[in-house]
Amino acid sequence: MELHQYHDVNRRGSIERLCYTARDEEGAEVSKYANVYLPFGYSGEQKYPVLYLIHGGGGNPDAWLDSTMIKNALDVSFAEGRSRPFIAVFPGFYCHTPVRTGRVDEEAERGHVLRFQQELRKDLIPAVDSSYSTDPTREKRAIGGFSMGGVTTWFAFLENMDLFSVFMPLSGDCWQFGGLGGGKETEKTVRYLCDQTISKGYGKQDFRIFAGTGYEDIAYPNLTPQMEGLKQRTDLFEFSENLKEGNLHYTLMKDAPHMYEKVYQHVFNYAPVLFAE
């Protein structure tokens, strides 16, 4: 795994705030925003791939940028030619600021990220595509996220496969059958992921998954059995440690607990292959 170490580069990208309107669970209009990273030299004369990168539970569109060196990691990737330039969008899946009082309500969190799938389709992606020079094809659109953002990514795999071809769930398993379902309901979860993919007419050539976590991460016990189960479904998944081969990848970090500061390294590691030709 290639790790990022901060160092300055002359060709730095910029961050803009994109405001858009969505609807909450009651159907009322709400004003929202996403942070948008534009690579150095961004030009309306060319079309850019887009990565949607989702925060974890209790977070907001600023979480990745506030908690990690993700901007410098992207700057370095593009300036040094590790990766072709792409736009990165940092949205929020909540419609209202979450109120935390002790233990996390898993079912409520599951509801937030599941409802966000329609916001992606109806509000956020149209706002991004109309505001920036994007390549509006599923082949040039990726989604990933940390923790509940990883859960969001698995729901995007199930609900929005026609919008994305690349999925990067980090330290988050699939919650189709309740919280921590990748570990608690592994067989059922794996079967559902596969059955839904096949029923929609997609094959192993139509998508790629780049998952990751840490050995010390609280997500490890639930994400790992799910990934092991997917590896066995060779009709849909071809696992490879070579990131340029196959459509299923799972990277594990040492000394990496459940922290943005650790998990962003997976984004740096996967950046060169997200939109590889």
pLDDT of 100 over the 80 cut: no
Point out the least confidently predicted range of 35-44, 75-84, 101-110. 101-110
pLDDT of residue 243: 98
pLDDT in tens, 12-59: 999 999 999 999 989 999 999 999 999 999 999 999 999 999 999 999
What is the length of the chain?
A: 277
Q: Which residues of 82-120 are buried (b: 16+ CB within 10 A; e: fewer)?
A: bbbbbbbbbbbbbbeebeeeeeeebeebbebbbbbbebb
Residue 102's pLDDT band, with cuts at 50, 70 and 90, is: confident
pLDDT of 267 over the 80 cut: yes
Ordered by where they begin, the domains of the chain are 14-274 (3.40.50.1820)
pLDDT of residue 103: 81
pLDDT of 113 over the 90 cut: yes
pLDDT of residue 98: 85
Q: Do residues 186 and 222 touch, judged by C-beta distance below 8 A?
A: no
pLDDT in tens, 122-169: 999 999 999 999 999 999 999 999 999 999 999 999 999 999 999 999
